Amino acid sequence: IKCDWFHTSLCCTHNTRWNFLCLWVLFFVFFFFIVVLILFPLTSIPDCLGNHFSVLKLNLYISDIEISRAQIPKPVNQLAEEVGLLPEELEAYGRSKAKVCLSLLDRLHTQPDGKYVLVAGITPTPLGEGKSTVTIGLVQALSAHLSLNSFACLRQPSQGPTFGVKGGAAGGGYAQVIPMEEFNLHLTGDIHAITAANNLVAAAIDARMLHEATQSDKALFNRLVPSVNGVRKFSPIQFSRLQRLGIDKTNPASLTPEEVTSFVRLDLDPSKITWQRVVDTNDRFLRKITVGQANTEKGQIRETGFDIAVASEIMAILALADSLEDMKNRLARMVVGTSRSGQPVTTEDLGVSGALTVLMKDAIKPTLMQTLEGTPVFVHAGPFANIAHGNSSVLADKLALKLVGRDGFVVTEAGFGADIGMEKFFNIKCRASGLRPNVVVLVATIRALKMHGGGPNVSAGAPLPKEYIDENLSLVAAGCHSNLKKQIQIAHLFGIPVVVALNVFKTDTQAEIDLVCEIAKGCGASDAVPCNHWAQGGRGSIKLAQAVNEAASRPSNFQFLYNIEMPIADKIRTIAQKVYGADDIELSPAAKDKIDYYNQQGYGLLPICMAKTHLSLSHMPDKKGAPTGFVLPIRDVRASIGAGFIYPLVGTMSTMPGLPTRPCFYDIDLDPVTGEITGLF
């Protein structure tokens, strides 16, 4: 028998026929494994709890939506098992997403936390610079390519920007959360729960004012503490009201007439009600409205307004609570207005805080999803960074840190630039959680750097000017030495090492990329690396993952920007001067009065949550780079007592966005035959 191309010395022996058969068997076994390696979509890496984590292979398509639809997500129960969740800790919402029970924290309380990474950014263009995409690409690189356990923790998108100017927020290219449609739309209903809870408070306020205005003390008392089967008793939430009033009685019949009056009359001042209704739509015409005009409301007409749902204090509470009990207590502390005698009135005084907790009992559980490469993601809460504190939930981060283990990574994202989302992450979220980050990833794009270097304005929907398409090293350098340098310095104020992630676009030249990385390192970044996750998935962010791994292993010296015991005005001034670069602040008379009132009520020890434009380090959206020599105007100061922060309104900042001339909803549609959604990207 003649030996052919797979011939070895074995087939040229006296037992030629047997050896020939063995070699063919070996050949087919070898061929089988090659086919499996090429075609089978899963490979395995161990996770921290001893399971095997499966990685989804990427399919090469063109558009974001095609990429998303080409990938079939792992069943969520498989994903949950891979990351170490028990079946009883999972509440599935369909095939590809699930709520995770908070009992996991008790089970894993002895498990060491992983490393904590914050993704922030430079001041963005109106188009956004891809922080979510970088976050997803980074965790794909860590888990799917470097075999390091990692979790992404992202905010839930609001319907406002999804149908307004921004569109979908699931990442992009080969760094997405899937299924993209479910991520961007209703998800598991958390924002709907917040809307319902917020508007229940609003309804309770107006109803209580109506009844107090039209009934005697005795009639109010008989209705608020009704006699049931001849027995009159206080409900548990009414005991809290009595305690706040200093009434130490349990028998309704024992109250004096004066005590009855103080118990039944909240006596809200209509001009000092701070609570507004919410809707998760950019509806500018609801910014100021009049309610109570029907004849049935008996003349109880007043001005009020709507905020966008994600600006609700209940959203902030969801993001900052660390347990169901903590959320319940925070909901009870929310102040809705002031009485005519100058006392704060809470949701507990209204008797509604228990009902709010019931509406929010499922929303407090983070939602488990996955990236295109099958790595795990927690999606939870969605406060805006220019209005609220701009971070996903404390609970999602805490759960993820336990699941990844000591050597794993949790990558969480802060909204907009480092001057907004990152500053609030450190001063508000880290105070609430007790967690301390290991490294900051600062996202930059050459497009944004050129804008800060003096390039023309960038508008959503309009073609990019040629300065952003053609190579222009002078604009890049100017942007690096202004905005990028300032944002690195802001991170260093908190003692955290910085890795700059340059989100690469196809119009970027190698000379521009090299220049950014060189200047970033010269400005104090631990490292600066170009990232190609949009085009290549996790493989395009391997260098970033390696840089983050190295930076996270170095010691950090985390510190807060200000002492919480500083006066409110001084805390605002510290942020304005050290973070924004302002010379000073200017408090309006209304802002001064509010600060005095909050100090009188004992709220002066709360951190600050600035409501400021995200388009500039200053309060002026058109001032790019790193403006100096300005005074920051504080138009008003409000308090979210349940959430636990004071929020000043800077300039003309609005808590209800508006729709542009051509909103994104023009392109969003449903194919009635296939059921596929178009236009979200």
Between helix 190-214 and helix 217-224 the angle, nearest 10°, is 140
Contacts within 8 Å (CB) and 24+ apart, 329-334: 330/642, 330/643, 330/644, 331/197, 331/356, 331/357, 331/360, 331/642, 332/240, 332/642, 333/641, 333/642, 334/201, 334/275, 334/640, 334/641, 334/642, 334/643
Catalytic option among 57, 107, 166, 539: 166
Catalytic residue among 74, 97, 99, 155: 155
3-class SS of residue 2: coil
* 398 neighbors 105 (Cβ within 8 angstroms): yes
Catalytic option among 74, 115, 131, 571: 131
416 is catalytic: yes
Q: Give the CA distances from residue 523 to residues 446, 488, 641, in Å, rounded to whole numbers and listed in that order.
A: 16, 7, 39
- Active site (annotated) includes residue 506: no
Residue with tokens 């959203």: 315
CB 89 within 8 A of CB 197: no
Instruction: Let me know if 133 is a catalytic residue.
Output: yes
Nearest Cα neighbor of 632 from 678, 559, 673, 571 is 571
Q: Which amino acid is at 522?
A: G
From the list 275, 426, 494, 534, the catalytic residue is 534
> Is 18 in the active site?
no
To the query of whether residue 534 is one of the catalytic residues in this protein, the response is yes
Q: How far is the CA of 236 from the CAs of 211, 225, 240, 241, in angstroms?
A: 22, 11, 7, 9
Cα 630–632–638 angle (5° rounding)? 175
DSSP-based three-state secondary structure for 233: coil
What's the CA gap between 287 and 226, in Å, rounded? 38
**385 labelled catalytic:** yes
Evaluate whether 281 touches 308 at the Cβ level (below 8 Å). yes
CA-wise closest residue to 142 among 366, 371, 367: 371
Residue among 98, 141, 169, 385 flagged as catalytic? 385
> What's the distance, CA 614 to chain centroid?
15
Question: And the tokens for 577?
Answer: 């001067």
* Residue 229 Ramachandran class (φ > 0 left, ψ -120 to 50 alpha, else beta): left
Q: Which amino acid is at 490?
A: I
Q: Nearest to residue 429, comparing CAs of 646, 645, 605, 664? A: 645
Is 393 within 8 Å of 318 (Cβ atoms)? yes
Name the catalytic one among 302, 355, 505, 635.
505
User: Tokens for 498?
Assistant: 């910085």
Which is the catalytic residue, given 53, 163, 378, 416?
Answer: 416
The reply to whether 166 belongs to the active site is yes
Cβ atoms of 234 and 228 closer than 8 Å: no
**Distance (Å) of CA 493 to CA 9, 108, 205, 225, 261:** 70, 33, 43, 54, 52
Q: How would DSSP label each residue in 281-327?
A: S--GGGSSEEE--SGGGTT--EEE-EEEGGGSHHHHHHHH-SSHHHH
Kindly give the residue spans of alpha helices, DSSP state H, lying in 62-189: 64-70, 76-83, 103-107, 131-140, 159-163, 180-184
Does residue 180 contact residue 681 with C-beta atoms inside 8 Å?
A: yes
Distance of CA 305 to the CA centre of its chain: 25
The residues that bridge with 99 in the sheet, in sequence order, are: 91, 367
Candidate list 125, 133, 135, 371, residue with the active-site label: 133
Q: Is 505 a catalytic residue?
A: yes
- Identify the H or E element spanning 633: strand 631-640
Task: List the catalytic residues.
Answer: 131, 133, 155, 166, 385, 416, 505, 534
